[in-house]
Chains A and B, each alone.
Chain A
């Protein structure tokens, strides 16, 4: 669906050259929710703007649905943009237009007759759950409602790709989740390919199938979200993963836990995918004569399964503890002993 080859963007700021995007190769299949995460200045905003030709690349190519976006301009590019729509961090609605009129705007651009525009806007208002607010102005809406208008507006011309530019970064956590649910719903219902950029791992975890981590204009890590959570390679990726899992790895936390639970052995288990849903603990307790005390636990649900960590205190005969650990490892659960008592 989307093919990026050697995509590069260099900004010429007079004296210095700034390489915002540096030879990025990516391929996003149709129907995927693809996330790009990075800190500000990583080049992700520029990258997403290269996808709909808002920025012209210095090198490389962008191909969407077989059409080379970088090679076209004028009316052809404007036509192509109607199929690659975009939502924004600050919504970018026209304050002078009502909800209905904002949603009709892209349809006016596409030259759709008035009556059809009205009908289509009505459908979209229902799709995003804004019934009854048709004639409200953006200033009368909450952030979440504004983004719903943004989404409805982006869907107006039946796009093939939806680009999300930090679409939830200006929203509170609860509204963020509601908007993310809406995006997943749209992705499933309309089969829309979604590319989103964000600096929040929570967003990646919650809705993305695959993720690319960007740093200094380059993609430094790429993979299935679940896999990246499980085996983050780069330091930057580890930091992003730590945003959503607890930071129980830090030496300080381990020491603190040891002080609180001086007896037995502390073990950290990492569950991924299916195992997270199996009753491994029950089996562990039934088959081994150890006392199990749950010290800490959390689980994160991603689009392709769950990812969880659990810290246990195992008390009892050291031989039995050894057997218990062996049992866990046969069940593909990553086990880490956090130091002896």
Chain B
């Protein structure tokens, strides 16, 4: 059945490409989460009237986030080639895609973190201050737990965007389903390969969405 519908699909190859896509998405999501979270918290706390109100740091972080969020991903990959080469030693393969993926996605996630933190009731932060909490305690015990559902749904959206980015990174040889669809499917006119790669990507996206929704719902006690 599969053989007749997808005569040109090389299954071990397809499977390997899927694993590469999952690897790239997973690793880049992890680092995006950490870096985006830090950037988002800095953006939040350095804003006027906040605990670390600081115009210069706020402006610099904001500028960094806005610039990298605005550069189209495909151009960002090319711009980052020297940086990637220096960091990873090569510009080919799944690991070489990571710097561009993370630098492209972390500012995007930082904005979502900022939105999530702004949603927190100011009174709760004030209450924690009135109890003598340090800023570090407020971050750990108020900001993060109180914005958890929004942080999770934000990273879900970001992870799904990253699946798309990995496919684009595939064009310049990052590997994964994007490379497979482009080289084996598009360039050799094997539509069934492209279709199968698309199906695999959809499965990954749906799995991420399902997991994200589940965790968001579980963490929301409101």
- Nearest to B138 among chain A residues (CB) is A109
Binds A, one of B6-14, B125-133, B201-209: B125-133
For the complex, give the distance between the alpha carbons of A93 and B131 in Å. Answer: 12
Residues on A with beta carbons closer than 8 Å to the beta carbon of B133: 78, 109
Q: Is A86 an interface residue (CB 8 A)?
A: yes
* A105–B145 CB distance below 8 A: no
B131–A109 CB distance below 8 A: yes
Q: Does A96 contact B (CB under 8 A)?
A: yes
Q: CB distance B221 to A78 under 8 Å?
A: no
Q: CB distance B146 to A78 under 8 Å?
A: no
Digitize A29-53: 1 where CB-to-B-CB distance is under 8 Å, 0 elsewhere: 0000000000000000000000010
Contact A92–B121 (Cβ < 8 Å): yes
Whether A139 contacts B222 in the complex (CB less than 8 A), given A94-B146, A95-B146, A96-B146, comes out as yes
Q: For A105, give its contact among B121, B134, B141 (CB under 8 Å).
A: B141
Residue B148, interface by CB 8 Å: yes
A67 to chain B, nearest CB (A): 14
Report yes or no: B221 in contact with A96, Cβ–Cβ below 8 A.
yes
**Which chain B residue has the least Cβ–Cβ distance from A110?**
B132
Contacts of B127 in A (CB 8 A): 86, 88, 92-93
Residues of B within 8 A of A88 (CB): 123, 126-127
- Bound state CA distance, A236 and B124, in angstroms? 33
B124, B132, B134, B221: most-surrounded residue (chain A CB, <10 A):
B132
Distance of A95 Cα from B119 Cα, bound (Å): 13
Contact of B137 with A by CB under 8 A: yes
Q: How far is the CA of A88 from the CA of B222 in the complex (A)?
A: 19
Contact check, A109 vs B137: say whether CB atoms are below 8 A apart: yes
Q: Find residues 30-71 in chain B having any chain A CB closer than 8 Å to their own CB.
A: none
A94 to B143, CA, bound (A): 10
Which residues of A sit under 8 angstroms from B221, Cβ to Cβ?
95-96, 137, 139
B146 close to A82 (CB less than 8 A) = no
Interchain CB contact (< 8 A) of B131 among A90, A96, A97, A105: A105
**Residue picked from B121, B130, B148, B219, most chain A C-beta under 10 Å:** B130
Q: How far is the CA of A121 from the CA of B134 in the complex (A)?
A: 22
Give the chain B neighbours of A176 by CB distance below 8 A.
Answer: none
Closest chain B residue, CB of each to CB of A81:
B132
Q: How far is the CA of A163 from the CA of B146 in the complex (A)?
A: 24
Q: Which residues of B lie under 8 Å from residue A94 when comparing CB positions?
A: 124, 141-142, 145-146
Could you tell me which A residues sit within 8 Å of B by CB distance? 52, 54, 77-82, 85-86, 88, 90, 92-97, 105-106, 108-110, 137, 139, 153, 157, 163
Enumerate the 3 nearest inter-chain pairs by beta-carbon distance, A residue then B residue, closest first: A78-B132, A92-B127, A81-B132
A-B contact pairs, 14 of them (CB 8 A): A80-B132, A82-B132, A88-B123, A90-B121, A92-B127, A94-B124, A95-B221, A96-B145, A96-B148, A97-B145, A106-B132, A109-B133, A110-B132, A139-B222
